Amino acid sequence: MTGIREFTFTAGELEIYWEDASHSRLQALWLRDHCQMPSSRDPKNGQRLFDITDIPADTAIRRASLEGDRLVIEFTPDGHRSEFELDWLYRNCYCLNLQHDDRSEIHKILWHGKSFSDKLPRQRYADFCKRRRNKLAALRAVRDYGFVLLEAVPCESGQVLEAIREFGFPRETNYGTLFEVRARIDASNLAFTNLGLGCHLDNPYRDPVPGVQLLHCLESSAEGGESVLQDGFMAARILREESPQHFATLSRTWINFRFRDATADLRARVPMIEVNDLDEVVKLRYNNRSIDTLKLPSERLQEFYPAYRHLAEILERPDLQLQFKLHAGELLLFDNTRVLHARRAYSAGGTRHLQGAYSDLDGLYSCLNLLESRQ
C-alpha cells in the first residue's frame, strides 16, 4: 500500500500526492457517487443504494481531513459525509488506473498456427474438475488464447454438459442442449455432414450469440476430419495493419445473418468485427454460409465486398491455422466470439462422432474471477 504525502482540495476537486510520487485528481461528484459507506453501498454485494438524482448536481467538497488511513470528506450542499480508505482511493483512482476491464483484444495473447509449437493449452479433465489451480489455468487459457483442450474426458454421452457445469451453465438452443456432430442423412445443417467446413464462428445469426462452444470427441476412427482453429482477433489485427480502411468498413457495416429450417428462423443484424469505444476488437462474427441477402446502399456494398474478401483471404493463410486431430476423450473448449474453427472433410468409412454444446462467457468469466480473487 502506498501512503499519502499531501492532499489539497477545492470545491470541485480533491488532489492527492502519493508517497510513490504519483498524483490523483478526483472530481467531487465522482467521489460522492463512489461513496463506500454502508448507507451508500450494500456491504454484502457492493450494490449502490442511491440514484444519481439523489445527489445534488452542484455537489462540492466542503471539508476534507485525514483520519488514520481514511480520508473523510464532507460535501455540500447536502452535508453528506464519506470516509474513503486511502488504499481504495489509490486502487480506484481513474487518473492512476485507466486500464479498462473487458474482453477486448488488448487483454488477449494473439497467436498464429506455430505459436504453440506442440504445446497446446491442455489440462487433464480430472484435474480441471478437482483442482482449483488446474481449473484456473484452463480458464485463463480460454481468456488469453481463446481455447483449451481437456484430456481424458470420459467417453460418455452427455459428458460435455457435465464439463459446462464446472464453470457455468449450458445454453439451450433450437439445436438442443447438446448436439451430435456426425455425418447424417438429410442433415439440416452442413455441420452434420462429412463435408469440410471452412473457418467460421458458430451462430452469428443468433443474438445473443453463444460465447462458449464445447466439442467433445467420442469416436474418431475416420480418416481426415482434422480440426483447425484460428485466432480471429489476430486476423482482425492483420486486417487493420494491412488496410485500416477495410477494418473500418467491417466494423462499421452491420449485416444480416440468418438461419432457417423447419423449426427455427433466426436472424441477427450485427457487424463482422465488433469494436468497443476505444476501437479495440471485442467480438467477431464470421460465417460465409449464413450471411443473409446483403441490403446495403450501393456505395457501401462496393466498400463491403473488398473488405470482406480481404478478411477471408487472411483467414485462408496457412500460417494462421492451427491444425490437429481431436482424439476420442478430448474436449475442445473455446471462445466462440474469437476463435474460428474449421473441419477438414473426412472419409465415409470409419466413424467420427462429437457431441457439442454451447455456454456463455458470463458464467465462465465469473468463475475465473472468483478463482483469481481466491488465489
CB of 276 to a second copy, least distance (A): 5
Spatial CA neighbour of 333 closest among 124, 92, 160, 116 = 160
Residues with Cβ within 8 Å of 215's Cβ and at least 6 positions away in sequence, in order, are: 160, 181, 227, 326, 331, 332, 341, 354, 355, 356
DSSP annotation of 170: B
| Residue 361 burial by Cβ neighbours in a 10 Å radius (0-12, 13-18, 19+) | buried
Torsion sign across C-alpha atoms 39, 41, 47, 50: positive
Alpha-carbon distance of 151 to 355, in angstroms, equals 15
- Which is nearer to a second copy, 113 or 196 (by Cβ)? 196
- Which is nearer to a second copy, 128 or 365 (by Cβ)? 365
Are 14 and 64 contacting, i.e. CB atoms less than 8 angstroms apart? Answer: yes
Q: Please provide residue 194's backbone torsions phi and psi, each rounded to the nearest 5 degrees.
A: -100, 15
- Which is nearer to a second copy, 117 or 373 (by Cβ)? 373
- Which is nearer to a second copy, 117 or 293 (by Cβ)? 293
Q: Could you tell me how far CA 155 lies from the centroid of its own chain?
A: 29
- Which is nearer to a second copy, 232 or 329 (by Cβ)? 232
The full DSSP string for 123-167 is EEHHHHHH-HHHHHHHHHHHHHHSEEEEES----TTHHHHHHHTT
- Which is nearer to a second copy, 217 or 284 (by Cβ)? 284
- Which is nearer to a second copy, 117 or 185 (by Cβ)? 185
CB of 78 to a second copy, least distance (A): 15
Residues in the chain: 375
CB of 86 to a second copy, least distance (A): 15
CB of 308 to a second copy, least distance (A): 6
CB of 136 to a second copy, least distance (A): 13
Alpha-carbon distance of 63 to 92, in angstroms, equals 21
CB of 43 to a second copy, least distance (A): 11
- Which is nearer to a second copy, 11 or 294 (by Cβ)? 294
Are 105 and 91 contacting, i.e. CB atoms less than 8 angstroms apart? Answer: no
CB of 221 to a second copy, least distance (A): 27
CB of 291 to a second copy, least distance (A): 7
C-alpha cell recorded at residue 26: 478526483
